[in-house]
Chains A and B, each alone.
Chain A
Amino acid sequence: MKREIPLMIVMVTGIIMFLQYFFPGRFLFIPFISSEKLFEFLNDWVMVIGILSLPLGIWSLLKANVNKLKAADERFYSAILLMGFLVMVISGWMPEWRTKGVHLAIFQSVLIPIQSTIFSLLAFFVASAAYRAFRARSVLATILLLTAFIIMMRFIPMGPISDINNWLVEKILMVPNMAAKRAIAMGIALGATATAIKIILGIERTYMGRD
């Protein structure tokens, strides 16, 4: 009961959502069931279950950090995290508060600067990773870095050489890059479809955890 019924639910809902795509208008020709309405309604179920699961994550974060308040070396940092969370929740409680006042000020002066700085830090780490990859001296690593170098040179004004480089960049992006991205997209689509079929058929059950 604890595993069989969930497996049945997965199979039935998965097949319904798969079939509704092939029956535009009336689902399985049943007069009073619209495929579009069914899709919209069941899609909302996913959203509702997802949003009501959010407290689980918040609870877990809060619990972990409240526990850390007991540890002397972590106390200050956990208090900062909890304070940041509480201030944002309280300051954004009413919908109109979110677009002004403390909530917006913290968003613009804390969240945006820190996030963009963290991403800009990656420039240094990516550069060091490129250096290590280049030391590998393999043909494939050389192709990768040569392409990256040509793409990056596009942003540097170099007079007449820029024209040639821009032409080369356009060709790289529109031909081999597009071919690679398409092949990868197709591979991902096939992988996602295979995984979804395995889940619907009950072959893949790891999402249910252990008893």
Chain B
Amino acid sequence: MTGGQLLLNGLAAFLTLCIFSFLYRDNPFYKFAERLVAGVATGYWTMLLFHTNFVPVVWNRLAHDGRYEYIIPTMLGLMMWTRFSKKWSWVSRYSIAFYIGISSGITITLSLYASLFRQLEATINQPLTFDAAGISSFLIIVGVLSALVYFFFSAAHKGSMGVISRIGIYVIMIGFGAGFGMTVMGRIALLVQRVIFLRGYVNSLTAFFGG
């Protein structure tokens, strides 16, 4: 490992410890790392979006491809800057209107197709046989329906509705539990990775100085 790499890894190790110091309490080291990452992340995403969105979609199309129809959305985008002025900020509503209108129109078909119809199809389109796979399919159907009943508030959750919605909330809790377990393990994996990094850095430091 070169001196430069060691220095950069030292910076990474220092910042890692700065963030871990929050476990004690909020302190200047944590604040330093927090603000640094806020600035660096903003700068990183700004340049990423500049090179991957602005240059190919706006600049290249107008300046190189001669697609002058892109002047309209560019003007709409620039109209957003009227928000800097209290007097003219209403002009930005036109841009927001296009943004919201187009997005809403897409959302209807996209969410209905991907998250409703495809999920319904996957739930219904399963064989109900008298084996393990069939029982699983049946339980998935019961689970989906009962969980949907739990979210259905147009009828009181009493009697049979109450029983079904009770099953529904149990199913949902199992789903949340699974998600929770996965999240915890993901975080633990990250923690292990950071600890391994710190140990590796100490080892490389020792090796560099001939320890």
Give the B-binding residues of A (Cβ under 8 A): 2-3, 5-7, 9-18, 20-21, 41-56, 58-59, 61, 76-78, 80-89, 92-93, 95, 98, 103, 105-124, 126-127, 130, 140, 143-152, 155, 171-190, 192-193, 195-197, 199-200, 207-209, 211
Contact = CB atoms under 8 A, between A and B. Distances in A.
B175 A177 contact: yes
Interface in B62-108: 69-70, 72-74, 76-78, 80-81, 83-84, 90, 93-108
B84 to A, nearest CB: 7
B193 to A, nearest CB: 7
Nearest to A150: B181
B46 to A, nearest CB: 6
Chain B binding surface SS class: helix
Interface residues of B, number: 110
Contacts of A92: 43-44, 47-48, 51
B192 to A, nearest CB: 8
A147 to B, nearest CB: 3
Contact of B190 (A6, A7, A123, A143): A123
A160 to B, nearest CB: 21
A116 B64 CA distance: 40
B102 A155 contact: no
B99 A88 contact: no
Nearest to A126: B184
B205 interface: no
Contact of A119 (B8, B41, B70, B187): B187
Contacts of B111: 188-189, 192-193, 196
Given A2-B93, A84-B40, A77 B23 contact: no
Given A87-B43, A192-B111, A193-B107, A48 B116 contact: no
A14, A126, A211 — most chain B CB neighbours (10 Å): A14
Contacts of A143: 170, 173-174, 177
A188 to B, nearest CB: 6
Contacts of B174: 143-144, 147, 172, 176-177, 180
Contact of A56 (B81, B108, B185): B81
B74 A41 contact: no
A146 B170 CA distance: 12
Contacts of B177: 143-148, 151
A179 B106 contact: no
A16 to B, nearest CB: 6
B128 interface: no
Contacts of A177: 174-175, 178-179
B117 to A, nearest CB: 9
Given A95-B51, A140-B170, A177-B178, A45 B98 contact: yes
Contacts of B55: 95
A84 B147 contact: no
25 contacts: A2-B93, A18-B105, A49-B77, A49-B80, A51-B53, A52-B76, A58-B42, A77-B31, A80-B32, A86-B43, A89-B47, A92-B43, A107-B40, A118-B37, A120-B193, A126-B183, A147-B177, A152-B185, A176-B139, A176-B175, A177-B179, A178-B140, A193-B107, A195-B104, A200-B104
A84 B171 contact: no
B161 interface: no
A130 B177 CA distance: 10
